[in-house]
A = this chain, B = another copy of it.
Amino acid sequence: MTRPHLANGAAAGGEFRTVAILAGSGDLPGLLADRLQADGRSYRILAFRGFADRALRARADAVVGLLDVRRSVAALDAWGRCEVTLAGGLRRPSAGAVLDAFSALRDRAELASLMRRGDDNLLRGVVSLIEERGHRLVGIRELAPELLSPSGPLAARAPNLAESESVALGLRLLAALSPYDIGQALVVAGERVLAIEGPEGTDAMLERVRGLRPRWGFGPPKPGGGVLVKAPKLGQDLRVDLPAIGPRTVDRARRAGLSGLAVAAGLTLVLDRARTAADADRAGLFLVGVDAAEPMAR
């Protein structure tokens, strides 16, 4: 692991030759680095302490605290003009901690205003900070599109007619929710919406649905049933926040009594696709990529 020296001021001019992976938790940062290496591309890893796992930290070019914005920016600047990508999980720190970390670099009142708004606005603040320094933010979509869901069934079973109607209802509702900066996912059983995801995330929402069933008896007449629908918000910046599913999502969906998962094709990461599909098959769940509206033109 090489530690970059602190650079002064903006990044040097010139082409974007290096991809900088800002790495959180999970397998995605490593998978992405493998892919860039296989393609012969130059890349650097900036691993966030407390998020990136040991294997990734060992191959990282810098390991910094998530809130140490000054050091992160200095690392990027030292690597020249970078194509910067965010990969892996970064549980959001408290508002006060973010404010303190950013306050050295930007106007505090503006940040306080951002913090009162949703994730989208906060992430937009981070993006504009990176871009002001001369770097370019790129998404996993551009770097490794094969990690995204294709269109159509990913597992053996396809949704039946009733399930497809639940999925369509869910997609319409997600589109209606888009202006409000909440929820990239929801659960629909028949024509009834059982849950809309909030800041707690998809896993916690599926736990909630699991708790609803015995207590309230909601859902279609047959035991089980209900579908998870996941798609980005309209207007969502997919470079910083891409919906994702994986084996854990399938497991939670199964335990919540769902009959399948539908994700926006081309707009949703499928982590460990082979295992995700195999787990869905074993549980009898459908797993399908569906056409959803493109969140934003770029």
Chain A residues at the B interface, C-beta cutoff of 8 Å: 91-97, 99, 112, 115-119, 121, 162, 169, 172-173, 176-177, 179-183, 189-196, 198-200, 208, 211-212, 216-221
Contacts and interface: CB of A to CB of B under 8 A. Distances in A.
Copies of this protein, total: 2
Contact of A217 (B92, B182, B217, B221): B92
A216 B199 contact: yes
A169 B95 CA distance: 21
Given A195-B198, A196-B196, A198-B212, A221 B180 contact: no
18 contacts: A92-B216, A92-B217, A95-B218, A95-B220, A96-B221, A99-B221, A115-B190, A116-B189, A116-B221, A117-B191, A172-B180, A173-B180, A181-B193, A182-B193, A193-B198, A200-B208, A200-B211, A200-B216
A228 to B, nearest CB: 14
Given A112-B221, A116-B189, A118-B191, 12 more contacts: A91-B216, A92-B216, A95-B218, A96-B221, A116-B162, A116-B192, A116-B220, A173-B180, A176-B177, A193-B198, A198-B208, A199-B212
Q: Which 9 residue pairs are nearest across A and B when measured between Cβ atoms?
A: A94-B217, A116-B190, A182-B193, A117-B191, A118-B192, A196-B196, A195-B198, A173-B180, A116-B220
A55 to B, nearest CB: 27
A259 to B, nearest CB: 13
Nearest to A205: B198
A181 B176 contact: no
B190 A194 contact: no
A225 to B, nearest CB: 9
A192 B117 contact: yes
A183 to B, nearest CB: 7
B194 A199 contact: yes
Contacts of A91: 216
Contacts of A177: 173, 176-177
Contacts of A93: 217
